[in-house]
């Protein structure tokens, strides 16, 4: 999170671009959830690098972790694509 801010980038969800500060004002300033792109049980024990992490809003974070029978975890890129397809299908 601090790495993103130091680079002058907006602190927003990497999937849906939600910005807590834009929505909640000062209360949301500096808030975002951090997600491992590859689950630790898959990546194995090693030191976490910045490229292993992504900033997500709470909703997208939960959807990355949500599983259904026959499915496993999904990456932020997979979730972004799922959202794009859904928007196209529903003309949003």
DSSP string, 43-71: H-SS---GGGEEEE-HHHHHHHH---TT-
The pLDDT tens digits of the residues spanning 6-64 come to 676 778 999 999 999 999 999 999 999 999 988 777 777 788 788 889 999 999 999 99
Average pLDDT for residues 74-78, to the nearest whole number? 91
Using the predicted structure, report yes or no on whether residue 89 has a pLDDT greater than 90. yes
* pTM of the predicted structure, to 2 decimals: 0.82
Would you say 74 and 45 are in contact if contact means Cβ atoms under 8 Å apart? no
Q: Which pair of tokens denotes residue 49?
A: 């690098």
pLDDT for the residue numbered 3: 64
């Amino acid at each position: 999170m601090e790495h993103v801010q130091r680079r002058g980038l907006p602190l927003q969800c990497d999937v849906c671009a939600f910005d807590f500060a834009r929505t909640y004002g000062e209360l949301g300033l500096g808030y975002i959830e951090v997600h491992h792109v590859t689950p630790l049980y898959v990546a194995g024990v090693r030191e976490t690098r910045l490229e292993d992490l992504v900033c997500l809003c709470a909703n997208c974070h939960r959807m990355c972790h949500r599983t259904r029978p026959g499915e496993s975890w999904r990456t932020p890129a997979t979730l972004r694509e799922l959202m794009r397809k859904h928007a196209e299908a529903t003309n949003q």
